[in-house]
Amino acid sequence: MRQELVASVVIIGAGPVGLSLAMDLVWRGLGVTIVESRHAGEPPNVKCNHVAARTMEIFRRLGIVAAVRNAGLPADYPNDVAYRTAFLGREMSRIRIPSRAERYTATDGPDTWWPTPEPPHRINQIYLEPVLFEQAVRAGVRIVNRAEYQGFEQDEEGVRVTARDLDGGGVLGISCRYLIGCDGGRSQVRRDIGATLEGDPVIQRVQSTFIRAPELLPLLRAQGGTPAWGSFALNPRRTGNVYAIDGRETWLVHAYMKDEETDFDAIDRDRGIRDILGVGPDFRYDIISREDWVGRRLLADKFRDRRVFLCGDAAHLWVPFAGYGMNAGIADAMNLSWLLAAHLRGWAPAAILDAHIAERRPITEQVSHFAMNHALHVAGQRRAVPPEVEAPGPEGDRVRAAVGRRAYELNVQQYCCAGLNFGYFYDASPIIAYDGETPPAYSMADYTPSTVPGARLPHLWLADGRSLYDALGPYYTLLRFDPAVDVAPLMQAAAAQRVPLDLLDVAAPDAAALYRRKLVLARPDQHVAWRGDAPPRDPAALIARIRGA
């Protein structure tokens, strides 16, 4: 039996990247079909534990942020990251991160200063993905489950996708304009476009185990310990970390293998878990699944073949610190989504799609090095844990204080990474009008808000209490900070080229000091496309540039 479908865009893979991309395309008025081999709503393995602030801003725009934030750990469970000699050992330092209940109101943590309407959210992917699946179906995304992608053919008019029905054995054919592979690290779409992964194939090996241990949290509380979302064990026997999954009884235990250890099966898994937890042979836990992984830094040598694109792990793989992989993949998807919509809805030529590679590939390269370099620094810290860290008395206290201080200073960058969220900029895009000013430098942890073209639009709370991002239009928005400036020539040029452009007169405290220009043109992805104190001399040329003409 053969079934035939038609869609504007076909996405392979219903993970967080594919689902987010599909929802954004539907929000922009396009018909989308996702092909997914799993059953409807089937959760993935325990993977990413963190949704970055930039991703939460996207979910806010899509109207699903409350559904995402209300899932995961209990509302009052601390989202802290603690450094101990073992889970039940002595605590050496702690990165304070607000619980879900306090996330919007807390002001005393290292990530509570960020200028954003949506701070980050700690949630494992096994809870996140079903929420996204439900919201995608509700939004009108067509998801074909239990279908295995087989291949595609493309020509100048479109793409023909073939899939196999895993339950009935039939063949599914889908005709579309564009195909996007969001099918993970083992991407078949990547292989089909002839792309290969390049970079560093092995940075670290981690023996990872998903366990159920109902007595672990009561034991911690009985000895006066405070729970944490992430608990790192630093001792001479086995270093690792323990992530709270449901905030009650399920945990993900990462045991970091030493440089000379290359065989996962040769390492005593039970002993490693007990060394990290700090429990004896009588403590009982159950293994739910084994989740061993190899940390890599790999980028596809190309992200596109004409009408076929790659997003997420299909395009890049790196050490999964702080959810960089998933969150960077969603950023890829949001960048591609509005470009596709601009072309498919008729106001931009196909050339606008060239901006996707020009913008996103350099950023993924940067993030891959941030993640790799941080992994190497953390590995160096693990190798240097002194045996005295578990010693009693003043000498042990001194060593623990030093180890804890170093752990905090090194890792607060990873878990409170404002730079990676907000600092990156597009410096070589064909659809941005640059003005010669160099964007401010940024690190993993820190950044300077800027309106330099290519940077993220600085967030403001408007005088009426709204988030600036809530006031932006779905496509381009011209922010005017002086209502006396005549913007009619620019608005008319946009209308003449059918570019959707909204005008927003901004009234906000201290806006002038932050924005420094009377006009700022915001893109659909909240990056700056142009700025000035008056419309350009040739408004039609600016509109042509930003629409890829």
Q: What local confidence, expressed as pLDDT, does residue 1 receive?
A: 63
Alpha-carbon distances of 397 from 92, 136, 511, rounded to whole Å: 9, 52, 48
The two three-digit tokens of residue 404, written as one number? 């804890």
Q: CA–CA separation, 174 vs 308, rounded Å?
A: 14
Residue 481 CB neighbours (<10 A): 20
SS3 127: helix
Terminal-residue alpha carbon distance, the chain: 44
Q: CA–CA separation, 520 vs 452, rounded Å?
A: 10
Give Cβ neighbours of residue 156 (< 8 Å, ≥ 6 apart).
none
Q: CA–CA separation, 241 vs 255, rounded Å?
A: 7
The two three-digit tokens of residue 461, written as one number? 């709370």
Question: For the segment 10-62, what is each residue's pLDDT rounded down to a tens digit?
Answer: 999 999 999 999 999 999 999 999 999 999 988 898 888 899 999 999 999 99
**CATH, domain range 426-546:** 3.40.30.120
Is residue 255 within 8 Å of residue 208, measured between CB atoms?
A: yes
Topology at the third CATH level for domain 2-72+122-197+300-359? FAD/NAD(P)-binding domain (3.50.50)
Q: CA–CA separation, 167 vs 169, rounded Å?
A: 6
- Stated as kind and residue range, the H or E segment containing 163 is strand 159-165
Q: What local confidence, expressed as pLDDT, does residue 93 receive?
A: 97
Q: What local confidence, expressed as pLDDT, does residue 323 receive?
A: 66
Is residue 380 within 8 Å of residue 513, measured between CB atoms?
A: no
Query: At CA 544, angle to CA 543 and CA 547, rounded to 5?
Result: 85
β-bridge pairing 9-12 and 178-181: parallel
Give Cβ neighbours of residue 398 (< 8 Å, ≥ 6 apart).
none
Q: What stretches of 179-242 show up as alpha helix (H) in DSSP? A: 188-192, 216-222
Residue spans per domain, the chain: 2-72+122-197+300-359, 426-546
Q: What local confidence, expressed as pLDDT, does residue 250 receive?
A: 98
Is residue 104 within 8 Å of residue 246, measured between CB atoms?
A: no
Q: Rounded to an integer, what is the distance from CA 155 to the centroid of its chain?
A: 32
DSSP result, 306-359? TTEEE-GGGTEEE--GGGHHHHHHHHHHHHHHHHHHHHHTTSS-GGGGHHHHHH
Question: Dihedral through CA 95, CA 244, CA 297, CA 379, nearest 10?
Answer: 60
- Stated as kind and residue range, the H or E segment containing 144 is strand 142-144
Give Cβ neighbours of residue 537 (< 8 Å, ≥ 6 apart).
none
Q: Do the domains 426-546 and 2-72+122-197+300-359 match in fold?
A: no
Low-confidence ranges of the chain (pLDDT < 50): none
The two three-digit tokens of residue 418, written as one number? 């404002």
Phi-psi region at 350: left, alpha or beta (left = phi > 0; alpha = psi -120 to 50): alpha
Question: For the segment 256-291, what is each residue's pLDDT rounded down to a tens digit?
Answer: 998 888 999 999 999 999 999 999 999 999 999 999
Give Cβ neighbours of residue 102 (< 8 Å, ≥ 6 apart).
none
Give Cβ neighbours of residue 7 (< 8 Å, ≥ 6 apart).
31, 32, 33, 142, 174, 175, 176
Q: What local confidence, expressed as pLDDT, does residue 365 receive?
A: 83
DSSP result, 460-514? -B-TTS-BHHHHS-SSEEEEES-TTS--HHHHHHHHHTT--EEEEE---TTHHHH
SS3 293: strand
